[in-house]
Structure 1
Amino acid sequence: MTAGLLVFHSAVPNAAGRPGSALETFLPWLGLAVPVLVVAALVRRSVTALVAVLLPAVAWAGLFGGLLLPADGGPHDLMALQHNVSDENPDPTGTARALAGAGPDLIALEELTPSALPAYEAALAPAYPYHAVEGTVGLWSKHPFTDVRRVDIKPRSIGEGWNRGLRCGVRTPRGEIAVYVAHLPSVRMRANGFGSGPRDESARLLGAAVAAEEVDRVILLGDLNGTVDDRGLAPLASRLSAPRRGLALSWPAAVPVARIDQVLTRSATAAEVWTLPATGSDHLPVAARIRLDAS
């Protein structure tokens, strides 16, 4: 059963309550069943049971084992950092300094509030002379911008004034790239199931924007409120590539159980992704080393 859920998770229906998306959000954690099954097999002294445990073990390794391998250590063109800083962060200045201290080329932030924004701008300005903010999301860069515009990812059920999408053209030493910053609607666990409808609609809108992007090389940085395995994000995630190395579980910061803060690419490779130490947010910052394909 464990192996079947790992391999055929897409067969779990996603109708009422979206159980398929709920399963896929925590899919890597099914691997915890493997040591439990091994212990059960040893207690029963069953060779057959031990052999059977290879099924879920191999299935898990095939899906997630590569993320645990060491990074290749090769050269990279950019370092990007993604962080939902939390609209209740008690220390925006300290958070900004911690992020800048990691030395990324790009810093994407979500849940920027009008009261905290000046603190982020002041702390990041010395190392990041270029920045753009739309609504509650922003991008800081060491490289100049060529174009900045809002990206409309607002679901129909959400009122006016909700603005969480940003697109910036960035002129790097390797040529121009398009950087998207997004914060998709939150997902709620309710009595009737996994409430992800607005998030899924927002993912479709963002996926359409990425598909229409004329610049070949794209980097998406954002709190997508879902993992790349969640089929609700498929209209977006299927157009981009996920990191090859690193689990980088980012939420909640105290006991991370899922990576919902993403660094996804097109015509580029996120060779490695990892988390930084906790800030004043309920998310951990996620960083990635990125290699750009030849333009």
Structure 2
Amino acid sequence: MTVDARHAIHTDRPAKTAWQRGRLLALGSVLVAVLLVAHDFVPNRWGNLGSLVQSFLPWLGLAVPLGILAALLRRSALAILAVLLPLAAWVWVFLPQVRPAVPEPGDLTLVQHNVSDTNTDVAGTAEVLLAAEPDVVTLTEVSDALAEQYTQAFGETLPHHETQGTVGIWSRYPLRDATPVDIRPEGVDASWDRCLRVVIEREDTAVVLFAAHLPSVRFGSGGFETLLRNASALALADAVNAEENDTVIVSGDLNAVLTDDAIAPLTNLVTAPTTGFEFTYPAAFPVAQIDHVLARGATVTETRALGETGSDHLPIVAHLDTSAP
């Protein structure tokens, strides 16, 4: 005898059918589906709720297996049917990213990595990065002492290098016109120095590269705290927008996913691959891609996360076609 049948005996009410049970579960599925499809309309009031939802949007897909399990336990045909809504919504939103794609070759390979200022395994980290056969490597959270160690570790493979504050660029091609870029949020002192612009000199073309590290986001008393990151992203967007060179690459730890509308002033200026989920943070169990290689006047044909290093981030390798905007 089911719980509903026993309940009906004691209450003199007819037992609920499979189409009557699980209404709350069905409502939850509907709400998840609406959130997936209409995430752009979630406001950034109430502790930057919109940015929080967009940062972890793919993980709303977990509502499907959890909803199926709950529906089976509740013996609710209504809830099982309703689970099809978030499933369809997830596929609608993320189908471009999960569809099979044949990587297209590029003419420039770039590796980006937040190496972590507490990572003492410079040799091991450099080995992971060099295994991707990069033409250029951009690093964030590198002190002066660590920068010297990475220069030695990269050796003749990447003989050209420039550093500024806590970011650095190593390249097999000559670098020129290294310039610090001020992306400090208002109220942050001058010791905060996290952006460098260089020109990569190649035989056929010159490419401008911005290496940047935007402020971290935090969960605090005000909710999902993104104010400093958003201000820094706007300053970086201004610098990219003012750049006159045709080909521009932005590489770094942006502390944001590309679906976050809060950094749209930057992401509207550059493009990234539309396939795959290359989560980079935290390294132990990656749930979000916050390390990026983006481009204007070039095509990022593929990005791929690399193996773990001594950092709390995973490195990411990007292949670019600088001849195809």
Question: How would you bin the TM-score normalised by the shorter chain?
Answer: over 0.9
Does residue 194 in structure 1 map to residue 224 in structure 2? yes
What CA distance in whole angstroms lies between the structure 2 residues aligned with 1:61 and 1:41? 21
Partner of 1:15: 45
Tell me, yes or no, if structure 1 residue 246 matches structure 2 residue 276: yes
Cα distance in 1, alignment partners of residues 75 and 296 from structure 2:
50
Partner of 1:137: 167
- Structure ID, larger Rg: 2
**Residues 136, 172 of structure 2: 8 Å contact kept:** yes
User: Match of 2:252?
Assistant: 222
* % identity of equivalent residues: 45
2:292 to 262, 279, 289: 262
Q: CA deviation at 1:115?
A: 2.2
The residue type equivalent to 1:110 in the other structure is T
Deviations 1:79-112 (A, max 9, x none): 1111000000021222123211221111110000
Partner SS for 1:109: strand
Partners of 1:148 and 1:160 lie apart in 2 by: 18
> May I ask how many residue pairs the two structures share in their alignment?
295
Q: Report the Cα offset of residue 246 of structure 1.
A: 2.2
Secondary structure of residue in 2 paired with 1:258:
coil
State the SS of the aligned residue for 1:73: coil
TM-score, with structure 2 as normaliser: 0.85
- Equivalents in 2 of 1:294, 1:242: separation in Å? 13
Aligned mates of 1:248, 1:263 — CA distance in 2: 12
**Selected match of 2:191 from 137, 161, 175:** 161
Tell me the secondary structure at the aligned position of residue 96 of structure 1.
helix
Moved over 6 A (4+): none
Shift of 1:138: 0.8
Structure 2: distance between partners of 1:145 and 1:70 = 36
Of stretches 15-24 and 69-78 in structure 1, the one that deviates more from structure 2 is 69-78
* Structure with greater helix percent: 2
Query: Any unmatched runs of 5+ in structure 1?
Result: none
| Distance in 2 separating the partners of 1:63 and 1:244 | 12
Aligned positions of 1:1-295 closer than 5 A: 1-43=31-73, 49-294=79-324
Question: Aligned pair in 2 of structure 1 residues 294, 237: CA closer, same or farther (>3 Å)?
Answer: closer
The one-letter code matched in structure 2 to 1:164 is R
Alignment RMSD: 1.8
Structure 2: any 5+ residue segments left out of the alignment? 1-30
